[in-house]
Structures are given as structure tokens and as C-alpha cells.
Amino acid sequence: MTATAERATVPGPPSGLSARARRRSELTGRDVTVSAVLAVAAFVPAAALVWLTYEMAKQAYPAIVFNGWRFFTTKTFTLGNLYGGTPIVHHGYQAAHGAQYGVLPFLFGTVVSSAIAVVVAVPLSVGGALFLADRVPARLQGALGTFLEVLAGIPSVVFGLWGVFTFGPLMSRTGFKWLAALHIPWLSGSPGAGQGLLTASLVLAVMIIPIIASTTRELFRSVPPLTKEGAVALGLTPSETARHVTIPFVRTGILAATILGLGRALGETIAVLIISGNALNIYPHSIFDPFSTMAAGIAAILDGALTDSTGMALHALGEVGLVLLLVTLLANLGGRFLTRRFSVGGLPVGRGI
């Protein structure tokens, strides 16, 4: 019997099966194992997120019942008298005498500082990445790109110490005084020693620049050379090519990188705690005033909350953490929506990345 006849007699999958069923029947034991491992790996992040959200909600539940909507309208967060006084009882839960739990000042500081950091960081990151990808000789791109990677790996506490010891005092003696002299509403005031909203926001911008710039640089490198060469052949200058071809080609990727940087800024703790001035219940009326964020506030209050015999202070901090988690998730979901929205539509050179 010939080899062709032997192959013809080998039983195959039934012809009535669907394409997916036929592919499954052809898998070997090793393929099944690899597929199972990959499936587990794909579901681990989702499971971790669900578990984290559940644990935070369980920890925050007593505070949610105790505070109600007042949590989002109260302008102070105080632990109350932890060593005396009659505890407050509300909806069946106790809290220390005089305690008030409000996330509003923390939420305001988190959103404003992160927004300033993103506004400052995005133009610098995109411009620097474009310069590295298109203007710098190839032999220097690796060396300069290394600085971005090193900057991304510096611990946040080092950024905080640099901000409070060097950057803040330097800017308070020079740039901040010039800005305050303009007498623009919310930009006027005394820079003080350099601690406050503006210094913390600028340090946050420095911290997220490597995240946005390194991602954007790889996006710019992925733009097809023929696309840019075609634009130059049509008479566009290098700046026009970057503005009308290169950047639009990867605009959705730039937006995604910006969302990554925003997530880092929203959750930054130690650097902001060191530079912000640790003002827990102060709304900044000037860009130079001290403030606090949700992450920094949790770190600052946690030690005192552990001494609360009623336990409500820890539950309230858990509620602050839950709000921070939800804000971060909403920012990422909003970024995904905008990414999909901007990815649909015409580009000079196609849909891009």
C-alpha cells in the first residue's frame, strides 16, 4: 500500500463539525495545556481587580453606611477625640467623638494636581519623543533613550526629597516669584518655601514624562517610513510632516500613553506627601498653597486611624481608597472610550495605531 493510501485511511474529524470544533479535535495534549495556561493568565488581571474592589468595598462598607452622601459633601476629614468623649452613633455604627469624614478636599487636590501634571507633561513628552525618533541620529537615540528608562525607575521618595530640598526652594526664589508677580487670579500668592500645589504638580509631571515619552517614542518609530517620505515628496516640511502625518498616525496611542501617565499621577503617594505641605483640610485658594490628595491623605492619617478604638477611622480611609480606585477606573475607562472614538475617522495616511 502506498503512503498516499495510508494517509487516506487515517480517520479524521467528522465532516459535520464546525470549524472551531475541528480545530479543537486536532489539538495535541501540549496544545491543550498551553491553551489552559494562557486562559488562566488572561483571567488573572480581571480576577485580581474584582477581588481588590470587593475587599475595598467590604472594608469601606461600615463607613459608607455611617457617612452616607455626607462623605462627598463634608469639607473636613478629622478623626475626632480618640482618647475620650462619647462616641457618635449613626445608622448603628460608632465613631469617635467629633469625628468627621469627608473626601471632598482630598478629591479636589487629587484631580487638580493630576490635571496640571498631565497638561505640563504631555507636550514635553510628545515633543521629546518626536525629537528622539526623527531628529536625533541613530547612534545617539539609544543613549538618550536610556535616560528616559533610568528616570522611570527612580523611586518616588527620591523625587519627593528632590522636590522639597532642591526644586521647590529653587523655583520659589526664581520662577514662582515671577509667576506670582503677574497678579492673575489663582496664580497669585506667596510661593513660600516651595511646598504646595504647583511644586507637587510639576514633580508629578517629571515623574510621568518617562512613561508617556517612552511609549510615544516607540509609536513614532512604528510609523511607516514610506508614509513620511511620501509627505516630504509632496512638499511638506519636516514640521508639517510631523503635524499632519506622524502625530495623527499614532494619536490614539498617544492618548493611551497619556492615560497611563494620568493613572500614575492619580495614585502617587510618597512624593506628593513630602512636597504638598500635608494640609489635610485646606482647599488651595492659590496654586502655591499646600494641599493633599487621596493617596497622600491615607498615608498621613493611617497611623492615627490605627488608634481609633471604634475602628471607624480605618473604615473611612478604606472608603477614601475605594473612591480613589473608582476614580482611577473611570479615568481608564474614559481613556479607552476616547481612544476608540478618535481611532474612528479619516487620517491623512490611514487609521494609524
Tell me the domain boundaries of the chain: 111-278
Using a 10 angstrom Cβ sphere, with 0-12 exposed, 13-18 middle and 19 or more buried, the burial of residue 195 is: buried
Q: How many residues are present in the chain?
A: 353
Closest by CA to 294, choosing from 261, 328, 262, 329, is 328
Q: What integer is the mean pLDDT of 166-177?
A: 82
Higher pLDDT, 144 or 158: 158
Query: What does the alpha-carbon distance between residue 37 and residue 323 come to, in Å, rounded to a whole number?
Result: 34
Q: Partners of 350 in the beta sheet?
A: 348
Given a cut of 60, whether residue 350 has pLDDT beyond it is: no
> The C-alpha cell of 142 is what?
539609544
Query: What does the alpha-carbon distance between residue 156 and residue 293 come to, in Å, rounded to a whole number?
Result: 15
Where does the pLDDT of residue 346 fall: very low under 50, low under 70, confident under 90, or very high at 90 and above?
very low
Where does the pLDDT of residue 342 fall: very low under 50, low under 70, confident under 90, or very high at 90 and above?
low
Question: What is the structure's pLDDT at 203?
Answer: 94
Query: What one-letter code names the amino acid at 173?
Result: R
Closest by CA to 72, choosing from 98, 38, 104, 43, is 104
Given a cut of 50, whether residue 165 has pLDDT beyond it is: yes
Q: What percent of the chain has a predicted confidence (pLDDT) above 70? A: 88
Q: What integer is the mean pLDDT of 51-69?
A: 93
Tell me if the pTM is above 0.85.
no
Contact present, 278 and 164 (Cβ < 8 Å): no
Question: What is the structure's pLDDT at 118?
Answer: 95
Given a cut of 60, whether residue 21 has pLDDT beyond it is: no
Where does the pLDDT of residue 347 fall: very low under 50, low under 70, confident under 90, or very high at 90 and above?
very low
Query: What does the alpha-carbon distance between residue 257 and residue 80 come to, in Å, rounded to a whole number?
Result: 42
What single string gives the DSSP state of each residue in 181-223? TT--TTT-S--TTS-SHHHHHHHHHHHHHHHHHHHHHHHHHTS
DSSP 3-state of 78: strand
Question: What is the structure's pLDDT at 17?
Answer: 52
Question: What is the structure's pLDDT at 351?
Answer: 40
Computed over every residue of the chain, the mean pLDDT equals 83
Question: What is the structure's pLDDT at 201?
Answer: 93
Contact present, 335 and 79 (Cβ < 8 Å): no
Given a cut of 90, whether residue 175 has pLDDT beyond it is: no
Query: What does the alpha-carbon distance between residue 205 and residue 197 come to, in Å, rounded to a whole number?
Result: 12
pLDDT digits (tens, 9 = 90+) for 67-81: 989 999 888 899 988
Higher pLDDT, 175 or 96: 96
Q: Which CATH architecture has domain 111-278?
A: Orthogonal Bundle (1.10)
Question: What is the structure's pLDDT at 91?
Answer: 85
Contact present, 280 and 297 (Cβ < 8 Å): yes
Q: Is 163 left (phi over 0), alpha (psi -120 to 50) or beta?
A: alpha
Q: What integer is the mean pLDDT of 279-304?
A: 88
Question: What is the structure's pLDDT at 58?
Answer: 93
Contact present, 291 and 275 (Cβ < 8 Å): no
Question: What is the structure's pLDDT at 5?
Answer: 47
Q: What integer is the mean pLDDT of 329-352?
A: 66
